[in-house]
Structure 1
Amino acid sequence: MSAQEIILRIRHPKGFSRLTVNSKDTVKILKDKISALAQLPVSDFKIFYDQNYSSTAQLLSPDSTSLSLIPKLKNGVELFLKVQAQMANPTLEKKRSLSPTLKAQNQQNLLSVNCNHSLNQRCINCPPQNNPKEKEKDVKIPAYVNKCTHPPGGSCLNCIDTSKKDEKLEKKETQKWLCQHGPNGKCSHCIDADYISNIKHVSFTHFLDEKKLKCKGVHPPTAKCPNCTPPSEQRMTVELNCKNHEPWPKAMCNNCLPPNVVVYRQPYRHVDFAQFMNVREVSNFVQAWTQNSHAEQRVGYMYGYYAEDPNYKGGVRAIIEAIYEPPQIGDISGFQILEDENETLVNTIAEALTLEKIGWIFTTINHDTFLSSHEVRMAARFQEQYRVLHESGYPFSTFITTVLRTGKDNPSEIKPEVYMVSDQAQVLEKNNVFGDSERRKFMKVRESKDERDVLPSIIVSGKQVNEFEPDFLLVNVAHGHSNHNKFSIVKHADFPVENRQEQNPNEVKKYLQKFKNQKSWEKYSDFHLLIYLAKLVDLETTLVIADAVAKEKDVPETCEELIRGIVGF
């Protein structure tokens, strides 16, 4: 990496992205690049150094200022975008005309509106780069082509004008062409209109839009009502700033008490579809579990990224690229995650690959409930830990939970299930309302420690309860996989897995021998290999290789020579 390059981590409404700038660039160039990255005009966002958007942490330097003169803009720093809620409606984003600079950048780099990365990177949403020879043919692409995955001059089902055909038939035929999996697989293209109309949970953006429609014509556009604003987090503790008396615990009134919590099924979800891109990674995880007759449960963290899901209004897809298995202890009934000294190293390598931790995955042989009370609480803690802000200003999480469960009648039949827990569950766990339950099928409200420990009353089906079924707190997430890794960032899952299998220089040698004929960046596109190389060689060299993998460019020969020298290849 050149000494003049600065790698920034950008948090924006669509997720997390990695951006490379030059220290000689100006603030204006930085804003333009972020504008292209987030698909937002510069006037729609402000840049901050912390997630709280404090006034002292805002980037206020003039546009002409060189980035080298801003001390806080160091390599690896994380920036947060605060988007103006009234101008950040995802539906309007696509319709809004972009600046000439942004149009030119998108045209030059061929970014689609669904891309969630820097200009020189690729993902499954990227349209293919044009072949210069194809340009010479001057082929005119019809305006109604919006899902073609071939260069100009090619042909597919999406090139055909089907406006006069039956809509349901057209949808069904189109999906047969777009699916890349076997007859038992499933992906976002398999979802038809009937399936979408019957889903339990709508996308969060769709939910907000439906609420706003209720107040249309009821009050002036400048006025606000509960339907115009996103949900608010319910208070679970005693009010400490009541103006009617002395501060608690010296005095307390009914208004100070935490309001009753009415447990309800959440009508919306923050992730609409989970797509497993690296199928072999999941298969290896399952195989390690089944080889031991399911006697030791396993757990791992899923790394990937987020993309827009065109099947849902404002929909979000979680793309799973890799699984990292932390140090752990497992038995027939569950698992325990141990302290991991390599957590920061793993996250750093993931960021270099333009990936982030987007969920967790675990195995189970239990069929008594979808998620146990303990698993619901773990999911709630993870979601709270990985929380971001919606365009509306509402704090939420897109951290998903995947369960690999044995078949009830056939233990060898393993099926994944993907969930999130509701925002309400997340808040209840954050405020320490739940207690340890001895029964898997029931969430337990903990007992108060003393008279000062005031808890809200929990209401389920109109009755005050001390325990209730965890199903009330679950949010289902559709999921599928693709056996084609054309759009995957992590191409392989062949290197031994850390904390489970033996890793040594000889394994690196055997791996390199196996893929010696592949392109250098493709050869190193194994998440577990990169993690081991960071410990065997050094982190800086591994980050250079990971950057080459993410950008699909040649790995520097000096890096390859260093590795070959160490492993004797």
Structure 2
Amino acid sequence: MLLRIRSPAGTARITVESTTSGEDLTAKILETIPKSEPQPDLSTVTLSNQPGAAAEKVGLDALKGRKVSDMGFSHGDLLFLSYKPLEAGSSSPSLAPPAPAPATLRGGSGAPSTSTSGTATPSAAPVGPNLDHVVEPEIDVYWNGQSGKIDRKRDNAFCRHGEKAMCDYCMPLEPYDAKYQAENQIKHLSFHAHLRKLLAGRPPSAASSSFVPPLTPLSLAVLTPCPSGTHAPFPEGICSKCQPSALTLQSQSFRMVDHVEFATPAIIDTLLSAWRRTGTQRFGFLIGRYDKYEKVPMGVKAVVEAVWEPQQEGEVDGLTIEVPWEDEKRVGEISAWCQKGLGVVGMIYTDLTPDPEDITKTLYKRHAQSYTASGLEMLASAQYQVAHPLATKASPTGSFSSRFVTCCLTGTEEGGIDATCWQATEQAEAMVKANTVEGSVDPSVVRVRKPSPGEYIPEVFYSFKNEYGIQVKMPAKPTFPVEYLFVNVTHGFPVDPDPLFVSSNFPVENRPGLHNQSLEVVIRELLKILSGSDLEVSDTGTWPARIKKEVEKWLSDFHLVTFLCLHGSFSTEEQKLIGQVATAHANPKHANALEKLFHSPGWQTLLMLAESSKGASAGFGNDSGTTAEQLAGMGIASPGGSGSAGRSGTGTPAVAPDVGGEKACPHCTFINEATATDCMVCGLPL
């Protein structure tokens, strides 16, 4: 590899290998200064990749302990050597510790090197945080491996070259190009485009050990103890080193999620059905995944596949929600069993009021003259985002902001219903973490809290352009507009819906008074599928093709899947099979899941309960009379038979109701404890 060294003595060339050590490189660089020229004072020798006093420079000590291969050099690079001549009569000192300088010499700015003292051997660059334990989402892994360049076609008006050539008019653009953003009306950069912009000046070949993550999470808390160590911890003492700086609110230039896509309109209709029947508001958590969004450079979209409704009490003008969400961990686990990467991606709620003049329409409450999201809503969004941080190696803490989105179903100007989606900004998250803000009676503003004794709240400012077009800064005393705390997120539906869950017939959870989930409902729906003249034992003892198809479609219902998994009558492995069957139509790897489920003890127990509810002699309601003998031919015995697959609540085989001190359910014959009032399997009273 050839490197060019330009110094006050002239330009010279040196040849190095990728394995050349930093010490050998230093010697070669110093040899480029002729003996006839004034020799340099080694304590003043610095290197830079650019000329001029403003260029970032690195001392020779920063090369120690490194190799050329991890310095970011390439063949033919030009380095600028500067130094002060050694004064007459003085000897050249050993290399002094360099000032903080870039970790690499190529590609512009980099991470500062660690200063050392005395004769101690300094490290060549600061060792970045160990982020090997951070597991990034698949969409982030995908975009990290892509260039993100925006391809452009040859411009016939300006390009004067052949088809295979390239010029300034047709060369690819960076994903953060401001002109492209303005031309395509892209208001916010995508998260990965924002990262590329921050990393634009860094060398692509920088050593991983010297990589400093570009994102630093904002903190408004007082550092305890103080880094200076000169005073007692807060509140006894505080100084400029431990107190947080004043916060100037500004519009966030990027967003973590660029689009929300509802897999099918039925997801929204299911949530709205409760409001239409009760007139009270409803709330739900969005279950979905993240995918690439092609309409924005390096974009990310949240694809919503289902909505889970937690325990809540709806009111005409508000909601009371279960906090914390008790089933969140289990619902997230069940979602991941259905498809890898599926989980909680946000929340959705209704804010609908019928128009008193025309009850078929809704009031238009959220608009430019009122508010898009109230201050309380924004603080709630920020709180949920803080609870769902994004795992990323671009932050020294291993996490940064969140991809949790908020959607509100509200009235439109025409009297219809539409969704409004947003995310709280990183500054909003930091303010919520530090407990510096609170809601206001005016929904369009947020209040800055007054500090209580022993509490420190930094000053908050917000800037805007006044009526004269001048940018001014105003103190938030005591309020500021809520618009500084969120970014809008677009939403829509696919042109050709292909939802992950194809059925939505099973009752929705936590809707008392409308409909309830129960094992009786499951059995009733299963009996409808099993009724038919084609329920005959095949030569291989398997279910007919029609039943397999209908069962697979029936189980492809997120509310049914979660009910069966949370009910407790299926083992963990059987619960995983249920989730795989629900999404087998979209995942070829799960093609055999249905057959495995049919042969599982939990499924055989469910069939036994279905048989018991109709009576073994009456069959499943079809003219042919599906009897216990037919089921036994498929590997399913009758409830009282010796080959019964039924299981009691304690995991023992189901037997006759007369079991001494225990209670046997009269509906499904399952054995319960003597103190039980309801059957733990079918849920019916004993």
Q: TM-score under structure 1 normalisation?
A: 0.62
- The answer to whether the 8 Å contact 2:288/2:302 transfers is yes
How far did 1:545 drift?
Answer: 1.1
- Equivalent residue, structure 2, for 1:259: 245
More helix by share: 1
Q: 2:376 aligns with which of 374, 377, 385?
A: 374
SS at match of 2:456: coil
SS at match of 2:267: helix
Q: Which amino acid aligns with 2:480?
A: F
Q: 1:543 aligns with which of 576, 591, 606?
A: 576
Spell out, residue by residue over 1:30-79, the C-alpha distance to the aligned partner (whole angstroms, 9 max, x if none).
xxxxxxxxxxxxxxxxxxxxxxx998x97xxxxxxxxxxxxxxxxxxxx8
- Of 559-568 and 203-212, deviating more is 559-568
Q: Distance in 2 between matches of 1:546 and 1:224?
A: 42
**RMSD value over aligned CA atoms?**
3.7
- The answer to whether the 8 Å contact 1:436/1:446 transfers is no
How far did 1:523 drift?
Answer: 2.5
Q: Which amino acid aligns with 2:562?
A: I
SS at match of 1:232: coil
1:288 aligns with 2:274: yes
Q: 2:232 aligns with which of 220, 225, 247?
A: 247
Quickly say closer, same or farther: Cα 1:504–1:270, change in 2 above 3 A. Answer: same
- Equivalent residue, structure 2, for 1:468: 480
Q: Distance in 1 between matches of 2:559 and 2:420?
A: 24
Spell out, residue by residue over 1:190-229, the C-alpha distance to the aligned partner (whole angstroms, 9 max, x if none).
xxx999820211101112223444x479x99789999x96
1:405 aligns with 2:410: yes
Larger RCO, structures 1/2 (Cα 8 Å, 6+ apart): 1
How far did 1:428 drift?
Answer: 0.8
- Equivalent residue, structure 1, for 2:26: none
- Equivalent residue, structure 2, for 1:430: 433
Q: Distance in 2 between matches of 1:382 and 1:542?
A: 28
- The answer to whether the 8 Å contact 1:235/1:258 transfers is yes
Q: Which amino acid aligns with 1:545?
A: I
Alignment of 1:488-567 (within 5 A): 488-500=499-511, 501-512=515-526, 517=546, 518-536=549-567, 538-540=569-571, 541-551=574-584, 552-553=590-591, 554-555=593-594, 556-557=597-598, 558=600, 559-567=602-610
Q: Distance in 1 between matches of 2:552 and 2:561?
A: 12
Alignment of 1:302-381 (within 5 A): 302-338=286-322, 341-354=326-339, 355-365=342-352, 366-367=365-366, 368-381=370-383
Spell out, residue by residue over 1:228-256, the C-alpha distance to the aligned partner (whole angstroms, 9 max, x if none).
96342233122331416213333323443
- The answer to whether the 8 Å contact 2:257/2:489 transfers is yes
1:482 aligns with 2:494: yes
SS at match of 2:290: strand
- Equivalent residue, structure 1, for 2:73: none
- The answer to whether the 8 Å contact 1:496/1:528 transfers is yes
Q: 1:93 aligns with which of 123, 129, 145?
A: 145
- Equivalent residue, structure 2, for 1:81: 135
How far did 1:392 drift?
Answer: 1.8
- Equivalent residue, structure 2, for 1:197: 184
- The answer to whether the 8 Å contact 1:352/1:550 transfers is no
Equivalent residue pairs, number: 393
- Equivalent residue, structure 2, for 1:459: 461
Spell out, residue by residue over 1:335-358, the C-alpha distance to the aligned partner (whole angstroms, 9 max, x if none).
111255544432332121122111
Spell out, residue by residue over 1:69-102, the C-alpha distance to the aligned partner (whole angstroms, 9 max, x if none).
xxxxxxxxxx84379xxxx986661479xxxxxx
Q: Distance in 2 between matches of 1:384 and 1:475?
A: 16
Q: Distance in 1 between matches of 2:475 and 2:191?
A: 29
Quickly say closer, same or farther: Cα 1:532–1:254, change in 2 above 3 A. Answer: closer
Alignment of 1:12-31 (within 5 A): none
Quickly say closer, same or farther: Cα 1:92–1:285, change in 2 above 3 A. Answer: closer
Quickly say closer, same or farther: Cα 1:89–1:376, change in 2 above 3 A. Answer: same
Quickly say closer, same or farther: Cα 1:510–1:431, change in 2 above 3 A. Answer: same
Q: Distance in 2 between matches of 1:565 and 1:447?
A: 64
Quickly say closer, same or farther: Cα 1:242–1:409, change in 2 above 3 A. Answer: same
Q: Distance in 2 between matches of 1:254 and 1:428?
A: 20
How far did 1:543 drift?
Answer: 2.8
Stretches of 4+ aligned residues off by more than 6 angstroms = 163-166, 193-196, 219-226
How far did 1:531 drift?
Answer: 2.0
How far did 1:374 drift?
Answer: 1.1
Q: Distance in 1 between matches of 2:510 and 2:247?
A: 42
Quickly say closer, same or farther: Cα 1:89–1:512, change in 2 above 3 A. Answer: closer
How far did 1:483 drift?
Answer: 6.5
- Equivalent residue, structure 2, for 1:421: 424
Q: Distance in 1 between matches of 2:216 and 2:202?
A: 21
SS at match of 1:251: coil
**Which ranges of structure 1 fall in alignment gaps of 5 or more residues?**
1-52, 59-78, 97-143, 145-162, 167-192
Q: Distance in 2 between matches of 1:428 and 1:325?
A: 28
- The answer to whether the 8 Å contact 1:200/1:476 transfers is no
How far did 1:322 drift?
Answer: 0.6
- Equivalent residue, structure 1, for 2:41: none
- The answer to whether the 8 Å contact 2:181/2:187 transfers is no
How far did 1:396 drift?
Answer: 2.5
**Which ranges of structure 2 fall in alignment gaps of 5 or more residues?**
1-127, 157-179, 353-364, 464-472, 531-545, 585-589, 614-619, 621-686
Q: TM-score under structure 2 normalisation?
A: 0.52
Identity among equivalent pairs (%):
22
SS at match of 2:302: strand
Q: Distance in 1 between matches of 2:529 and 2:446?
A: 50
Quickly say closer, same or farther: Cα 1:82–1:202, change in 2 above 3 A. Answer: closer
- Equivalent residue, structure 2, for 1:388: 390
- Equivalent residue, structure 1, for 2:664: none
- The answer to whether the 8 Å contact 1:485/1:491 transfers is no
Quickly say closer, same or farther: Cα 1:239–1:347, change in 2 above 3 A. Answer: closer
